[in-house]
Amino acid sequence: MIGCGRVGSSVALRLAREDWEVTAVDEKEEALGRLGENWTGGFVVGHGMDAGVLRRAGIEEADAVVVATNGDNTNLVVAQVAQKRFDVPCVVVRILDPARAEFYARQGLHTICPTATAIDELTGAVRTHKDAEGVSA
């Protein structure tokens, strides 16, 4: 798990609960706190762009890498490094900008764009409300 913020730490915790062996990587040591006192997985302090950090986190043996730091471009580069250099079979990457998420999805990255999801959900919710209430647009 590269990036252990709000999203990363929750993904790490959930997967660990489902019996995955998880190592989280974050630039800040404080991020370890987000994983709670009972965290038994790994934690490596460092930047995801640093191949040494990725190796220390065990990327060479990883079955899956989830990339969700707070920088879209960092995520895009780290995900490609995981996929192309370390041949990780499953790489999933969080990209906030819908345009870049779509572009890189076409290039073969598995991108997840919460912004696009929010846009769909919000417009969908308004449509549903309108249909139910018979409000004229």
Residue choice 14, 84, 127, 130 for contact with other proteins (CB under 8 A): 84
Residue choice 9, 22, 31, 72 for contact with other proteins (CB under 8 A): 72
Q: Does residue 115 touch other proteins according to CB under 8 A?
A: no
- CA-CA distance, 126 to 75, in Å (whole number)? 32
Pick 13 or 72: Cβ nearer other proteins: 72
Say if residues 98 and 119 touch (Cβ distance below 8 Å): yes
Binding mask 26-65 toward other proteins (x if CB under 8 A, else -) reads -----------------------xxx--------------
Residue choice 17, 19, 63, 107 for contact with other proteins (CB under 8 A): 107
Q: Does residue 80 touch other proteins according to CB under 8 A?
A: yes
Handedness of CA 75, 4, 111, 123 (dihedral sign): negative
Say if residues 77 and 104 touch (Cβ distance below 8 Å): no
Say if residues 78 and 67 touch (Cβ distance below 8 Å): yes
Half-sphere exposure of 23 (CA within 13 A, CB side): 20
Judged by the rule CB under 8 A, the positions of this chain that interact with other proteins are: 49-51, 71-74, 76-77, 80-81, 84-85, 97, 99-100, 103, 107
